[in-house]
């Protein structure tokens, strides 16, 4: 008999263990447990048994299925399913480099599996007969494939072409998170912009941050405040001389520069407010 599972991204779902408990599910297993990545368990993927039409299933399709996890079905024992999924958490890329593989992101799963020939896709799915994605159900054409085992040296290899293809999803996820953040905290500065304009705005924000050495998500989210409040010409406008000075200050770490910029912007906003009193 087939059993359904959710493969959820703990890094994207706040308080996931508490949410699962509230939804009547107390059983989940970390894919990073007993691997080289066990220190990252708190932000890694987890496997959760689920039954159709239960509160957990309804929450998944309403809140999480687009970006935070995938629905799987298998007739194999849970331990076999877990071990196979665990074997996919890292991959080899050209240059014999090992990287973590976020296939539990449904956008990456679709880009990874959909273009493959049926036989290759079936082999990668192993004991998984069905993967349900937002706009695509992937059904195994030749079931009863053997399950792979986790090893410190990954068995899966991704070519440069596959990596380029998959990076599309990563860029989309990064951009959407930036847009969501700015709409939550700086909505007054983005009023009137349609979806296309917001995409362009976010891309330009990432580009200007990158030119100054900031590419991590936490860095770009902080940079976005300056981009939203001071305009898309930050930090090159004539009025931004004080910020350019802080960016060029010697002997200061990159993160400390961002914090100094943030403090300067707050100071200027308070000064401007006082001038209107």
The stretch 239-262 carries a mean pLDDT of: 91
pLDDT band at 214 (very low <50, low <70, confident <90, very high): confident
Provide the percentage of residues in the chain whose pLDDT is more than 90.
65
| Backbone dihedral region for residue 193 (phi beyond 0: left; psi -120 to 50: alpha; all else: beta) | beta
The reply to whether omega before 238 is within 30° of 0 (cis) is: no
What are residue 131's DSSP bridge partners? 72, 138
pLDDT score for 77: 96
**What is the C-alpha to C-alpha distance for residues 151 and 146, in angstroms, rounded to an integer?**
16
Prediction pTM value: 0.68
| Domain range list for the chain | 3-158, 165-275
The stretch 209-218 carries a mean pLDDT of: 85
Q: With 80 as the cut, is the pLDDT of residue 80 above it?
A: yes
The stretch 239-251 carries a mean pLDDT of: 92
254 SS3 class: helix
**pLDDT tens-digit series, residues 10-56:** 988 989 999 999 999 888 999 999 999 999 999 899 999 999 999 99
Output the six-digit token pair for 107: 């956008």
């Amino acid at each position: 008999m087939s059993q359904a599972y959710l493969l959820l991204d703990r890094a994207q779902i706040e308080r996931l263990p508490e949410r699962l408990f509230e939804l009547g599910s107390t059983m989940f297993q970390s894919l990073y447990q007993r691997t080289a990545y066990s220190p990252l368990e708190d932000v890694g993927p987890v496997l959760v048994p689920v039954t159709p039409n239960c509160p957990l299933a309804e929450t998944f399709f309403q809140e999480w299925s687009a970006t935070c996890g995938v629905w799987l079905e298998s007739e194999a024992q849970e331990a076999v399913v877990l071990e196979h999924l665990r074997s996919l958490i890292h991959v080899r890329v050209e240059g014999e480099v090992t990287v973590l593989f976020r296939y539990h992101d449904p956008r990456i799963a679709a880009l990874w599996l959909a273009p493959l020939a049926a036989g290759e896709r079936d082999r990668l799915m192993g004991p998984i007969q069905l993967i349900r994605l937002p706009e695509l159900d992937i059904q195994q054409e030749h079931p009863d494939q053997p399950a792979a085992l986790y090893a410190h040296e990954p068995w899966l290899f991704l070519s440069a072409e596959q990596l380029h293809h998959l990076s599309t999803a990563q860029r989309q996820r990064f951009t959407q998170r930036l847009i969501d953040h700015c709409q939550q905290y700086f909505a007054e500065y983005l009023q009137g912009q349609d979806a296309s304009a917001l995409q362009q705005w976010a891309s330009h924000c990432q580009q200007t941050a990158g030119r100054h050495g900031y590419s991590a998500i936490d860095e770009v989210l902080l940079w976005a405040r300056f981009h939203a409040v001071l305009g898309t010409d930050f930090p090159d406008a004539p009025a931004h001389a004080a910020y350019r000075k802080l960016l060029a200050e010697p002997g200061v770490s990159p993160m400390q520069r961002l914090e100094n910029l943030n403090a300067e912007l707050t100071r200027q906003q308070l000064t401007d407010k006082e001038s209107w009193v």
